Structure 1
Amino acid sequence: MPELVPPTVDARESFLVAMDEYVADGRGGFDDFSNIGNDLRAYASTWSTPAGFARFVGYLRAQRLEETPRPVGFVPTTVLWWLDGPEYLGRLNIRHRLAPGLAGERNGHIGYDVRPGARRKGHATAMLAACKPIAAALGLSQVLVTCDFDNEASRRTIERNGGVPTRRLDEKLRFWVPV
């Protein structure tokens, strides 16, 4: 049964296959501002080696620490992978607080992504449900989760997890989800 776990080198082979799926799906270009897109551009050239992948995993795990250097406007973030044994199925990020300004309002506390080959199997809904106790342990009583207005699957995922709609912001639908 899948579970949310900190990134691990044990999932390397499956992770690399998943990243190939994302690239085949058109992800990773300069117009892809998602975490997956950023990671593909920044780390794909090095994560093919065990040492490079270990550095990438260390980078992801360090994002939860307040003292980790990060770009202006970025906040501490717990990165979790949705794994079924060593099989990488997706990723979920919990921002410990909203980023300052419009970025926080657009991105919210939680972002998630399911690899193309594992979509439409309930993984996003299960990941969001599984992260609620983790978010609560971080001191969050509710989390802002957003999706593009035309992303029907993500909207249903958020609503299945108790998301209450709030005002729309440009192309983003915004929901408060109790944890």
Structure 2
Amino acid sequence: MPELIPPDARFRVSFLDAVHEHIVEDDFFGGTLARELREHGGTWNRPTGFARYVEAVREEELEDGRRPEGFVPSTWYWYVDGDTYLGRIQIRHRLTPWLLDYGGHIGYGVRPAHRRRGHATGMLRDVLPYARELGLDPVLVTCDATNIASRKVIEAGGGKFEDERDGKLRYWIRTRTGS
């Protein structure tokens, strides 16, 4: 049964298989994967290099952690089933003006070979309690207006449509039930 876990170096081989799938599909997870490939990809072939990458991703959640200029603290979770890396989801701890218009609190991606199996819906559902623990309620989740699959995931997760801004659909999802 798939589950959310903090990024873990033991998934290196499966993660690298997923990266290869993304490259073949020319799908770079909103630019995140392209940035990671530039910064860390040259070391992923070695277990120690991949472990340093995992440490860097996990450090992004700390207020004083290393992350790209202008980025807010973010907690990443990987969605795995046994030894198979299926995708990842990120909770941004706060919104900048750009995130309020376009990026939202939550971003996610499923590896191409495992799409259309409900994994994105499962990730979004499973991450909401973690967002609540961070004091986020509601959370903003966005998608491209042309991304019908992502729109369906957000709506299945309880997303209430607010508006469209420059081709981005903006939805709010409650993290607390009965509120």
- The answer to whether structure 1 residue 47 and structure 2 residue 72 are counterparts is no
User: Percent identity among equivalent residues?
Assistant: 48
Q: Which runs of 4+ in 1 moved over 4 A?
A: none
Residue number in structure 1 paired with 2:137:
141
Which structure 2 segments of 5+ residues have no match?
A: none
| Equivalent position amino acid for 2:149 in 1 | A
2:22 maps to what in 1? 22
Q: CA deviation at 1:37?
A: 2.4
1:122 corresponds in structure 2 to: 118
Distance 1:134 1:45 in 2: 32
SS at match of 1:41: helix
Is the Cα–Cα contact under 8 Å of residues 59 and 66 in structure 2 kept in the other structure? Answer: no
**Could you tell me whether the CA contact under 8 Å between 2:14 and 2:84 is conserved in 1?**
yes
State the partner residue of 1:6: 6
User: Is 1:94 the counterpart of 2:80 in the alignment?
Assistant: no
What is the CA distance between 1:39 and its match in structure 2?
Answer: 1.4
Give yes or no for contact 1:125–1:158 (8 Å, CA) kept in 2. Answer: yes
Q: How many residues align?
A: 175
TM-fit CA distance, 1:33: 4.5
Contact 1:145 1:158 (C-alpha < 8 Å) held by counterparts = yes
Q: TM-score, normalised by structure 2?
A: 0.93
Are the aligned partners of 1:19 and 1:40 in contact in 2 as well (CA < 8 Å)? no
1:27–1:37 contact (8 Å) kept in structure 2: no
Q: Deviations over 1:75-117 (max 9, x none)?
A: 100011001122100010000111x222432100000000000
